[in-house]
Structure 1
């Protein structure tokens, strides 16, 4: 009889919680999906593992036996797959100096100081590729419709943050809370569709460009904030740079005015993604910290009432 490790992990979590709703939330799956997998496991072992009614869930005698064996099998599989020295590691990636992933990583380290975070720098598309190839444990990225079409299975994601975009002026511009998207050329530090380096950020900008009837000026991607700041200071013609809040606040700290867009407020949708399997404990804890951080910081809510929010089409899970 071949046992499914995923079903065993589901069963262990349910046995620890003794509540289908809480176990499903901890596993980041739906309650019906959890029930279905538990029923399959019971069919495999040939006897009920749980006693359940509308008020409580309890292990049967056979359930207690399977629970002990399941824990041993999962521990062995984890050691084989990851190596005993990597059991307290979470592998993530950052996209340049944007703050969403770093904010979550800081919160996770504060809550779980014994777990080591291994960090890389990858754009959204490469993060997904690394996640599916098991080179990352968690991805914080922009999910596109092309990603879900190309990789319809093997991973899950959920919205983590709506990061507002700002218009960054020139150093000599006067401060003001808002500026029109149409009063000056709008520049973007990004690689355009014909560059060969076009990515999820570029696709977001192209969609925004088409839906707002703008004609963006693509400046290429210098990468770090320092390079972007130097390029902006070298500029001589009036223009606005459309930037993430992560960078816009740094421009403001350097004395350069930033403005909310007047006509619509664009938001960049960040998601957190993980493989479609029961996560190891450090990864599950990272997902929980990310959820709590998003809740505490109101990341999923529009941060401005000055203009109507703009978002690209939602990808299908």
Structure 2
């Protein structure tokens, strides 16, 4: 039996999205055609890879193993078909959060001759793209699930602990800190059980469990302008828990931002790259990222008085000691 790489690519797209409609749009084919091709792949190899019904799609245990093998197969095939390009670096951004943007700008200042190819992906999709040789460097939150699903083939190092702020309403008084329990806490994130629940949502769920808060999930509008529009329309009194990247932009528009009093949540951003030999352009990108982190004190975030830094328990082993 000859394995059709086209069908393998189709399967990886469905496994990434866990949704036939989104995968079909990504592949520029119709959903019925994609379903037929996945069934053909399962028939060819004689095993069921996906469980699907009218409401959800999930990988079978054999499908999870096949996915790991498929990523390596496609990466090898791509490397065989092209010479590596040593004058470019491929990265991705998570919406308009500024960690990757700051590093990218610093890198291009030092190496303006390098072609920086930039995309937009969340953490999970970035890792998939990295392992599939579609990115050279990822800047992501590394989760326990990622490490369990992909125990080899990549490396990572902590880059930044990005603090969260509590964003008030435009007419709120300007206070340095407020309690997490003073008002309803809102978050721009897709809630558990939704099709778009991701590494960021898992972080928020862990915070919710740790603090006993009942967060109000607002979905994820992505860009700052969309987030700002949502806050501008709000009529009730609440605080928005927001990344420093966006919180400072709210402050620039005259909306008060406050440190949380009880604890300081920080989001652990890590650099990730494939194992093995790397072009000098990629090595210089990694060096630049670490230099930016040192100069900006990204591993020593600002907080209110003695409020302890907090990350989810699964992230502790990958971060520096979080002391009060």
How far did residue 304 of structure 1 move?
Answer: 2.1
Taking the TM superposition and a 5 Å limit, the aligned residue runs for 1:277-288 are 277-288=276-287
Write the distance in 1 (CA, Å) between the matches of 2:162 and 2:264: 10
Alpha-carbon spacing, 1:189–1:79, altered in 2? closer, same or farther (3 Å):
closer
Write the distance in 2 (CA, Å) between the matches of 1:218 and 1:195: 11
**Could you say which residue in structure 2 is the equivalent of 1:225?**
224
TM-score normalised by length of structure 2: 0.71
Write the distance in 2 (CA, Å) between the matches of 1:123 and 1:239: 27
**Could you say which residue in structure 2 is the equivalent of 1:241?**
240
**Could you say which residue in structure 1 is the equivalent of 2:274?**
275
Write the distance in 2 (CA, Å) between the matches of 1:80 and 1:218: 45
How far did residue 314 of structure 1 move?
Answer: 4.2
How far did residue 279 of structure 1 move?
Answer: 1.1
Alpha-carbon spacing, 1:114–1:82, altered in 2? closer, same or farther (3 Å):
farther
Write the distance in 2 (CA, Å) between the matches of 1:82 and 1:256: 51
How far did residue 79 of structure 1 move?
Answer: 9.3
Write the distance in 2 (CA, Å) between the matches of 1:142 and 1:131: 14
Unaligned runs of 5+ in 1: 1-77
How far did residue 115 of structure 1 move?
Answer: 0.6
**Could you say which residue in structure 1 is the equivalent of 2:309?**
309
How far did residue 292 of structure 1 move?
Answer: 0.8
SS of structure 1 residue aligned to 2:155: strand
Alpha-carbon spacing, 1:294–1:176, altered in 2? closer, same or farther (3 Å):
same
Choose 1 or 2 for highest CA Rg: 1
Can you list the C-alpha shifts for 1:150-180, whole angstroms capped at 9, x where unaligned? 1111100010000000000011111110010
How far did residue 83 of structure 1 move?
Answer: 3.2
Unaligned runs of 5+ in 2: 1-77, 319-324
How far did residue 300 of structure 1 move?
Answer: 1.0
Contact 2:259 2:304 survives alignment (8 Å): no
C-alpha RMSD of the superposition = 1.6
Write the distance in 2 (CA, Å) between the matches of 1:170 and 1:297: 29
How far did residue 296 of structure 1 move?
Answer: 1.1
Q: How many residues align?
A: 239
Write the distance in 2 (CA, Å) between the matches of 1:100 and 1:305: 22
Can you list the C-alpha shifts for 1:279-314, whole angstroms capped at 9, x where unaligned? 111001100101111111111123225211111124
Taking the TM superposition and a 5 Å limit, the aligned residue runs for 1:1-317 are 82-83=82-83, 86-306=85-305, 307-315=307-315
- Structure 1 runs of 4+ aligned residues shifted over 6 Å read 78-81
TM-score normalised by length of structure 1: 0.73
Contact 2:158 2:269 survives alignment (8 Å): yes
Contact 2:141 2:270 survives alignment (8 Å): yes
Can you list the C-alpha shifts for 1:16-55, whole angstroms capped at 9, x where unaligned? xxxxxxxxxxxxxxxxxxxxxxxxxxxxxxxxxxxxxxxx
